Amino acid sequence: MAGPVTRWFFAPVPLRRIAVFRALVYLFVPIDMFLFTGSTWGHVHSAANYRPVLIARLLHLPAANEVSVPVLFGVVLVACLVAAAGRLPRVAGYTAALGFGYWAILAMSYGKVDHDHLALMVALFVLPTIGHVGGSRTAQPGTPDTAKAEAAGWAVRCVQIAVVATYFLSTYAKIRFGGWEWPNGATFHWAMSRRGTPVGQFLADFPTLLHLSQWGVLIAELLSPVLLFLRGRALHAGVVFFLGFHLMTWVTIAIHFLPLVVCLLVFLPLERVRLRAAIGRKGAGGGAAGQKVAVVGDQAVDPVS
Amino acid sequence: MVSAMSLSPYAKAWRVTITGAVAAGLFYGTVWGTDDFFPLGPMVQYAFSIPPDGEIRSLHLFARTTAGQEVEIPLEPYYVGVRRAEIESHLGRHRQDPSLLQHLADAHRRLRPGDAAPATLTLRTKVIKLKDRVPSATRFIEEVSWQVR
């Protein structure tokens, strides 16, 4: 199992990146439970429409009800706040992962399934595997932190793969369900009509632009796996491109894929963000903006003295 | 506490195994699966094709109030407890059993106590006919109606 594949999977990542990403993810989850999987709250009132997805049937998960939904929210909220603070990363982390997993299943078991949560669910399940990252500086080769940095590398890689899979596999779905005529159809017009914002309804008057956009989206999604192999500025440009794509869908049809956007950020050197409170560091200003830091894809983590 | 200098072969092995298993599940879901496989189902958001001369259909809920006024109630969770696409996927059941609309009325009463109470609820499909990607005509199809109890 040695060789380039293993090195790629376990490329060490600065633990600061995990500290920042973890805070982002865990603080985002409770917001998600109101804004994006918020339909679970409403499902309390529509028990008649409960059509549990496969995993819910296998696990005999009950429908949303007036007691379980607020309790579940409370449990996930507490777990997320604890985990965001870097405390009990495994216990709180797995509690948040399982609790939010059930919550998302409830959101998707009433007739409509969304596809913007894969990366977030993966993040919730892999982050606890790293354990404490505490006040650790960028790992130095030959120290115990190297193992942590490799564990962090795997977690980051999993989230990155899930992000890319969301894009790339959607091209397969477009051809599988929409056929080869998908890019030449009027799907974007359909989207603008059904849920277009004022900007989207304005753009609906430009059918050629929408037609070209369908080709653009299909090609971009098809090329998305390059994100896993780019480095430095090219990688950052790729991330900015997809951020722009999500911004456009939000501006035109109020669909933002924000859970995916949060995970997309893990491609960036988040360790440069100053987030002292969240990682409980005091004193030494290592890892602040401008400091040399290791980035996924580097052959090794640079020693920091 | 981690004492090794790098992740042990065992720690690496289980991580690679899990990654492979989830990737395989996702591959299976993408190629052969349906929405039922959530969270490993196909990424079908906007994966259908609308012909350039096709139709755009969307379901709308209308209420006739006790005062005789007709208003549209958004098919959104914060109005009726469900999303539009969810009702669309259950439309056949609603046509067969109009009393299911009573659930929407009950949810609406609970969620929007300040709004005018509907006496009748009607689901209509709005059909926009496209001609070379441009809307050419709009019509409504009456799907199902229900006297609110």
Do both B35 and B101 map to the same domain?
Answer: no
Q: What is the pLDDT of residues A104-144, one digit of tens each?
A: 999 999 888 888 899 999 999 999 999 888 654 455 555 55
Do B63 and B136 reside in the same domain of the chain? yes
B61 and B129, same domain (yes or no):
yes
Distance, in Å, from the CA atom of A110 to the CA atom of A104, rounded to the nearest integer, reads 11
Same domain (yes/no): B73, B143: yes
- pLDDT reading at B57 higher than 50: yes
Same domain, B62 and B35: no
Residues B22, B85, single domain; the answer is: no
Task: Name every chain B residue with its beta carbon within 8 A of the beta carbon of A46.
Answer: 81-82, 103, 107
- Same domain as B25, residue B81: no
Does B10 contact A at CB distance below 8 Å?
Answer: no
B42 and B88 in a single domain? The answer is no
Residue type, B110: R
pLDDT of residue A300: 35
Residue numbers in chain A where pLDDT is lower than 50 = 136-137, 278, 281-305
Q: Are residues B20 and B74 in the same domain?
A: no
CB atoms within 10 A of CB B3: 6
pLDDT digits (tens, 9 = 90+) for A97-113: 999 999 999 999 988 88
Range of the domain at B129: 55-147
Tell me if A48 and B100 make a contact (CB, 8 A cut-off): yes
CB-based contact A46 B82, cutoff 8 Å: yes
Contact A46 B103 (CB under 8 A): yes
B113 touches chain A (CB under 8 A): no
Question: How far apart are the C-alpha atoms of A42 and A198, rounded to whole Å?
Answer: 27
| Residues A190 and B56: beta-carbon distance below 8 Å | yes
Q: Do A112 and B86 touch (CB under 8 A)?
A: yes
How many domains is chain B built from? Answer: 2
Q: What is the pLDDT of residue A57?
A: 94
Contact A69, A40 (CB under 8 A): yes
Looking up tokens 């958004």 gives: B74
pLDDT value, residue A2: 63
Q: Where are the alpha helices (DSSP H) in A179-281?
A: 187-195, 198-203, 207-223, 232-253, 258-264, 276-279
Copy the structure tokens of residue A81.
């706040």
CA distance B83 to B69: 24
**Domain final residue, candidates B48, B66, B87:** B48
Please check whether residues B81 and B136 belong to one and the same domain: yes
Same domain, B102 and B137: yes
Residue with tokens 């216990």: A91
User: Tell me, what's the pLDDT at A93?
Assistant: 97
Same domain, B42 and B108: no
A–B interface: beta-carbon pairs under 8 A? 199
What share of chain B in percent tops pLDDT 90?
59
